[in-house]
Amino acid sequence: MIHAYQEIYRSKAQSVLGDAFDYAVNTCHVPGRDFVEQFIASSLSKRMENGEPALICGKSGIEIAVEVVLETTGKELRQEPRECFARSKEYWIGWSAAYYQWYSGRKYGEIFRALPFEDLQNMYEPLHEADISKFADIAQARLREYFPETNLKRLRTAYGCTQAELSGRSGVSLRSIQMYEQRNKDINKAGAETVYRLAKVFGCAMEDLLEK
């Protein structure tokens, strides 16, 4: 699987987003659902999706929370950070969401649409002591359920061609295209030439056809 950015920045991204959620919700009393909406609407979420080192390694979670709220609402968070010796539920939500975003390469907006803040709160008890891969597996299943269309089908539909037309233009068999769109075959495991031929028809990058 192709991850969102280099793994060396993943742990730092998790900790800063965890701290941002904890500070905004528990110290500044911003409702969790509101902070999620503010975060995904902000430019900072896009920069974190790309693993921007200057942001992930250059700012604290508190600074990120302050900038998110200021950018999206015009309000400034001024509360002093509270002293905390254990990870809060809200920290775990930000920490886990950052891991899954790195793991899947999906946008935060998609992740939080399929996994609302309240759902993540309910997932805390059974999962906060489990390996993070367990959360990633559940999140992956939820995202695929919420966004049922494969990238191949979405691009083909947007391009305005049938499966048979795509087969004729790409040289990829009709049966293979059908199986990729139905998830009976994993396009991530397809040969590079197959993915290249499909991408060439749409004029997109090969990575745009892969499933996150």
CB atoms within 10 A of CB 113: 14
Q: What is the pLDDT confidence band of residue 2, given thresholds at 50, 70 and 90?
A: low
What's the angle, vertex CA 182, arms to CA 178 and CA 186, rounded to 5? Answer: 90
| Fold type of domain 151-209 | 434 Repressor (Amino-terminal Domain) (1.10.260)
3-51, pLDDT tens digit by residue?
788 999 999 999 999 999 999 999 999 999 999 999 999 999 999 999 9
How sure is the predictor about 211, in pLDDT bands with cuts at 50, 70 and 90?
A: confident
How much is the mean pLDDT over the chain?
93
pLDDT of residue 191: 94
Give residue 1's pLDDT.
56
Indicate whether this model's pTM tops 0.85: no
Whose tokens are 């659902």? That residue is 33
Domain ranges of the chain: 7-146, 151-209
Question: What mean pLDDT is predicted for residues 126-139?
Answer: 96
